[in-house]
Amino acid sequence: MQKKKRHVFRTDLRPPLIAAAVIGAVLLGLFTALSLLAEAEELPLYGLALCGVYVLSVGCILIPYLVRYRRITLANDAAELMTTEISDMFRYVVDVPYAIVGADSTVKIVSGALQDILQMRSPVCNVPLSSFCSVPMKDIVAYAQNGGQVKDITVNEDGVPIDNTKPMITEIDGKKYELRCYVMRSRGKDYFFVVFEDVTEMLAMKQKMYRDEPIVAYIVIDSLQELAQYIRVSYRTAVNEIETKLKEWAASFGGMLREYEREKYLLVFTRAALDKCIRNKFRILDTIRSIQLGDNSFPVTISIGVGAIDGSFEDKERAASDALDIALQKGGDQAAVNDGKSVTPYGGRVNTMYGSTTITSRVNSSHLCKLMQEAGNVLIMGHRAPDYDSIGSCVGLARLAICARDGDASKIRIVVNRDHINFRICYDMLANIPEYRSMFISGDTALDAVRTDTLLIMSDVNNVFNTEAPRLLKCVKNVVIIDHHRRQDQLYEFKPLMTYIRPAVAAASELVSEMLEFSPYHDRLLKEEANLMLAGLMLDTKNFTQGAGMQTFSAVHYLYGRGAHANSVRGFFAESMSNLFTACDIDSRTRTYREKIALTWLSVDHAATEEDNIAVAKAADKLMTIAGIEASFALLRADDTVTISARSHDKINVQIIMQRLGGGGHYDMAGARMTHTTLESACLQLKTVLDEYMDNEYENEKGMKR
């Protein structure tokens, strides 16, 4: 930083002195010449005359400069005196606390105001700055040299900027002071002029405004109507009991709770109350879950969406609605807090009965058909590394689109990796159907097919980054999401036209089967398409042994009615010899962790293939058949990426565990994908998360009935 020059009044005597020297040299030269030409007796006269001329001329030159020099000297003395008096007045009269600090962090001088605050006897002191100021000297130097505070901004693993800048605030005798710092130079040394500004009242006012900021939240009771079908309890009595608990909770922090629709509530409260709820991790979720209904076979749960953003009430309401959607689409029994940058979940401990009815499927089917009809073209996309459920659900949606568009398949395409082994197996079954010969395209080709009126349907996936072609979502504005996985904690850059996420459903093919069954085109599904959807159901339910419910078998009944049969897709699940060797390699590495958890991995010396993900997922399923094992985790490394497949029974929530590693999924089946890491590092991170979960949450959950 360039230092400012100090301007003072001064005069320069060098010009007249130089002029005097020049005149003297000229006259001396003239005298030398006369001494050669004139008589000896005349030289003294000439010498006196030349001396007189020199004295007269030099006097005429020097006298004005000396007068000016004297006048300026007097002015400088007066200015110095005035500066001293102003400095003394500024120090003792003007009420500005400041200190002059040396580069070695030693306080040289303090003002009268700061002297009173610190109760010092003398303004001249040599005490360390740290004796009364908590701001380190390096921050003061950086502030002074840069003309302001230097920002310390970092980025977390999700790419979100984090401001780590420490405020230039110190506390003295219960009051808070903000520091402003400047560089000053005296006698060739740098000093720092530090001003202490009292911001106690301002910070208190800001804190009060923060605490009193209004927050909007939506609350819904999860699937109470579905519970009432299975337990002997009065529906109205149950609602009244839940509502009483909610009102008591809202009254405990001065919130306003209003029922705006059946089993749905609006809560308005303050930021201070929200901070309290966050600290106790929304204890109201446990309170509601503890309500005894009937024989208590199923827990009663609620979902909460909180809009904790800056802006108008309309903005807060919209943020709360988005957060509630995420809480419900993640399975319910949780609170989701939307701060405008991310959504933070709390709770989600119970594998809830977040159900639906045939009416829901019929309504969503009708709405989707209308969107398909209005679209210029339709793109259907599943997740990367597609499995049978992803491909089968996409094929089912393609049939629904063909029917909705009066049999025109020319503007309908499925985006998929055509080189993947699962796709090649599925395509062999569809190859003889003319409509599918040009149906499947790659992600790059799909980008060329995007129009302003394109409809993009995401099936069996709701995480943008796990789709087959994430770039498509930046180009298409009309998006529909159909999935059975719990919603990830991410805010979409787009607003979906339709979101149909049901975590309690076993497979995306089950969702699509219901939509087809309750659509006007229920009899148009082809046998080959039905077989692919059945394969998806068999895959995600482990041949109907995991997660299959009454609605699952209803979907199977519909698919069988359209010509599907398990014998037709049995070959999809045949094991190759290489897969058998891979499974043996994984089994040989199985270890137990904390007695209840099984860990295994595929050898790093093994040459990675596209079938390894399936082998690792099957290994995680197989480990769950071991007595005493409540959760299993199988790891696979490919290049610098580690994939984790997680499974559990009903006591450990693997969705929460995988979510903390950047993944997600269901309560009892989830996964994660960790990039830029090694197998050893990923395993250590997994164990750390497992320790945290088992120590803090497992004991609270294992006694709950599900």
More confident residue, 510 or 19: 510
Q: What would the DSSP string read from start to end of 588-651?
A: TT-EEETTTEEEEE--TTSPP-TTHHHHHHHHHHHHTTSTT--EEEEEEEETTEEEEEEEE-SS
What average pLDDT does range 685-689 have in this prediction?
92
Q: Is residue 55 part of a domain?
A: yes
Q: Is residue 506 part of a domain?
A: yes
How many Cα neighbours within 13 Å face the side chain of 399? 28
Give the other-Cβ count within 10 Å of 351's Cβ: 24
* Three-class secondary structure of residue 528 per DSSP: helix
For 172, list phi and psi in degrees, rounded to 5.
-130, 120
- The answer on 25 and 113 residing in a single domain is no
Sign of CA pseudo-dihedral 178, 180, 186, 189: positive
The per-residue pLDDT for 608 is 63
Q: Is residue 8 part of a domain?
A: no
Q: Is residue 7 part of a domain?
A: no
Give the closest residue to 254 by CA, choosing from 275, 235, 233, 273. 273
> Which residue type occupies 145?
Q
Residue-level length of the chain: 706
- The answer on 385 and 457 residing in a single domain is yes
> Looking at the predicted structure, is the pLDDT value of residue 11 above 70?
no
**Burial category of 689 from C-beta neighbours within 10 Å (exposed 0-12, middle 13-18, buried 19 and up):** middle
The per-residue pLDDT for 5 is 43
* Three-class secondary structure of residue 73 per DSSP: helix
- The answer on 384 and 303 residing in a single domain is no
CB 514 within 8 A of CB 555: yes
Give the closest residue to 302 by CA, choosing from 279, 281, 320, 284. 284
The per-residue pLDDT for 706 is 41
pLDDT per residue as tens digits for the range 61-84: 778 877 877 777 777 776 666 655
| 400 to 279, 440, 512, 557: CA distances (angstroms) | 47, 16, 9, 18
pLDDT per residue as tens digits for the range 521-534: 989 999 999 999 99
- The answer on 590 and 566 residing in a single domain is no
Distance, in Å, from the CA atom of 472 to the CA atom of 384, rounded to the nearest integer, reads 13
**Burial category of 23 from C-beta neighbours within 10 Å (exposed 0-12, middle 13-18, buried 19 and up):** middle
The per-residue pLDDT for 2 is 42
> Looking at the predicted structure, is the pLDDT value of residue 94 above 60?
no
CB 528 within 8 A of CB 435: no
Q: Is residue 353 part of a domain?
A: no
* Three-class secondary structure of residue 175 per DSSP: strand
Proportion of the chain above pLDDT 90, given as a percent? 28
Contacts for 126 with CB less than 8 Å, ≥ 6 apart: 106, 107, 108
Distance, in Å, from the CA atom of 249 to the CA atom of 528, rounded to the nearest integer, reads 54
Distance, in Å, from the CA atom of 112 to the CA atom of 120, rounded to the nearest integer, reads 9
The model's pTM is 0.54
Q: What is the CATH number of the domain that holds 307?
A: 3.30.70.270
pLDDT per residue as tens digits for the range 340-364: 877 888 876 655 544 455 556 777 8
- The answer on 544 and 395 residing in a single domain is yes
pLDDT per residue as tens digits for the range 170-199: 999 889 999 989 888 877 788 898 999 999
Residue appearing with tokens 């710092």: 181
> Looking at the predicted structure, is the pLDDT value of residue 571 above 90?
no
Of the residues 185, 206, 227, the one at which a domain ends: 206
- The answer on 341 and 316 residing in a single domain is yes
Q: What confidence category does residue 53 fall into, taking pLDDT thresholds of 50, 70 and 90?
A: confident
What average pLDDT does range 588-608 have in this prediction?
82
Of the residues 67, 92, 117, the one at which a domain ends: 92
> Which residue type occupies 699?
E
Q: What is the CATH number of the domain that holds 151?
A: 3.30.450
- The answer on 628 and 653 residing in a single domain is yes
Radius of gyration of the chain (CA): 41
- The bridge status of strand 301-307 relative to strand 264-270 is unpaired
The per-residue pLDDT for 489 is 59
- The answer on 159 and 78 residing in a single domain is no
> Looking at the predicted structure, is the pLDDT value of residue 4 above 50?
no
The dihedral formed by the CA atoms of 411, 414, 415 and 419, expressed in degrees to the nearest 10: -130
Which domain does 266 fall in, by range?
Answer: 214-347
- The answer on 159 and 104 residing in a single domain is yes
pLDDT per residue as tens digits for the range 422-463: 898 899 899 889 999 899 999 999 999 999 999 999 999 888
- The answer on 53 and 190 residing in a single domain is no
Distance, in Å, from the CA atom of 288 to the CA atom of 273, rounded to the nearest integer, reads 19
Q: Is residue 675 part of a domain?
A: yes
pLDDT per residue as tens digits for the range 315-345: 999 899 888 887 876 667 889 899 887 788 8
- Please state which of the ranges 41-50, 617-626, 675-684 shows the lowest mean pLDDT: 41-50
What average pLDDT does range 6-28 have in this prediction?
71
- The answer on 444 and 464 residing in a single domain is yes
The per-residue pLDDT for 115 is 84
The per-residue pLDDT for 403 is 94
Distance, in Å, from the CA atom of 222 to the CA atom of 219, rounded to the nearest integer, reads 9
More confident residue, 60 or 456: 456
CB 440 within 8 A of CB 416: yes
- The answer on 277 and 260 residing in a single domain is yes
The per-residue pLDDT for 354 is 44
Of the residues 347, 367, 396, the one at which a domain ends: 347
Distance, in Å, from the CA atom of 661 to the CA atom of 633, rounded to the nearest integer, reads 13
> Looking at the predicted structure, is the pLDDT value of residue 304 above 90?
yes
What average pLDDT does range 672-696 have in this prediction?
89
The total of structural domains in the chain comes to 5
> Looking at the predicted structure, is the pLDDT value of residue 705 above 50?
no
Q: Is residue 9 part of a domain?
A: no
Q: What confidence category does residue 88 fall into, taking pLDDT thresholds of 50, 70 and 90?
A: low
More confident residue, 9 or 688: 688
Q: Is residue 550 part of a domain?
A: yes
CB 667 within 8 A of CB 331: yes
Distance, in Å, from the CA atom of 100 to the CA atom of 183, rounded to the nearest integer, reads 10
CB 341 within 8 A of CB 362: no
What average pLDDT does range 241-246 have in this prediction?
89
CB 631 within 8 A of CB 597: yes
Proportion of the chain above pLDDT 70, given as a percent? 84
* Three-class secondary structure of residue 424 per DSSP: helix
Contacts for 574 with CB less than 8 Å, ≥ 6 apart: none
Distance, in Å, from the CA atom of 482 to the CA atom of 488, rounded to the nearest integer, reads 14
Helix 388-404, helix 358-374: angle, nearest 10 = 60
Show the tokens assigned to 544: 């109907």
Q: What confidence category does residue 7 fall into, taking pLDDT thresholds of 50, 70 and 90?
A: very low
Q: What is the CATH number of the domain that holds 507?
A: 3.90.1640.10
What average pLDDT does range 468-474 have in this prediction?
90
- Please state which of the ranges 222-236, 630-644, 670-684 shows the lowest mean pLDDT: 222-236
Q: What confidence category does residue 255 fall into, taking pLDDT thresholds of 50, 70 and 90?
A: very high
Name the average pLDDT for the chain.
Answer: 82
> Looking at the predicted structure, is the pLDDT value of residue 52 above 70?
yes
> Which residue type occupies 416?
V
Distance, in Å, from the CA atom of 313 to the CA atom of 284, rounded to the nearest integer, reads 24
For 456, list phi and psi in degrees, rounded to 5.
-110, 125
> Looking at the predicted structure, is the pLDDT value of residue 246 above 70?
yes
The per-residue pLDDT for 468 is 92
> Looking at the predicted structure, is the pLDDT value of residue 473 above 50?
yes
- Please state which of the ranges 23-27, 178-182, 255-259, 695-699 shows the lowest mean pLDDT: 695-699
